[in-house]
Amino acid sequence: MAAALDPGRFDSTVPHYVAHRLRYPPELLRLTLAQLGLTPGVRVLDLGCGPGFLANGYALMGCPAVGIDPSEAMLVAARAEAAAMSVAVDYRLGSSLDLDGLDERFDLVVMGRSFHWMERAATLRALDRIVAPGGAVVLYYDRHIRSAENAPVTVADRVREKFGRTDKGERQRAGRSSRRNCANASPR
């Protein structure tokens, strides 16, 4: 079972996400569509959208996009990023727990570094209903290259591994990979 949803959990990280998180290169988004046999213009849902990097990127390519996140502060940042890029994205407050209430279909559902926060099996069941025939679910993530410059990231990862996961269920979920209807993509 997923940890209890705390919508404000990441509010204090919004400025860090906006200033320091990697954006997804347009080439990666185009490659994703091409690999899936989709074209610009397909309907995209960015689930756990955070500051909207994926939703805004797909909108810039002409894809009608919806972004859903449980944090209003993240949505404020996502809307500001969309305005700065002159794109229209339908940003909504919610989470994977609200998917059963969606009465819409999407050709592409994307999640950027967010799926691990969700109850995976329930989320995939809900996505089975809202992903259009021929559509896809894509999980994006990134890795920091091991280098002297990234040494603090490596140390933080080790500390998180040793002390961060105290819930047995979370340790089990972290060790499982869900492959059904998912393709993995990485900006690096």
pLDDT tens, 75-89?
A: 999 999 999 999 999
Q: Where are the beta strands (DSSP E) in the chain?
A: 44-47, 65-69, 89-93, 106-112, 131-140, 182-185
If DSSP states are collapsed to H, E and C, what string results for 125-157? Answer: HHHHHHEEEEEEEEEECCCCCCCHHHHHHHHHH
Q: Is residue 99 within a helix (H) or strand (E), and if so which, with residue range? A: none
Closest to 106 (Cα-Cα) out of 160, 146, 50, 49? 49
Q: What is the DSSP letter of 188?
A: -
pLDDT score of 13: 77
| Distance of alpha carbon 93 from alpha carbon 81, whole angstroms | 16
Q: Which domains can be identified in the chain, with CATH numbers?
A: 11-185 (3.40.50.150)
Neighbours of 119 (CB within 10 A): 17
Q: pTM here?
A: 0.73
CA dist 91 and 162 (Å) reads 36
Residue 143's pLDDT band (cuts 50, 70, 90):
low
pLDDT in tens, 11-49: 777 888 888 888 899 999 999 999 999 999 999 999 999
Tokens of 181: 């209807």
CA distances from 65 to 88, 108, 176, 185 (A): 8, 10, 29, 19
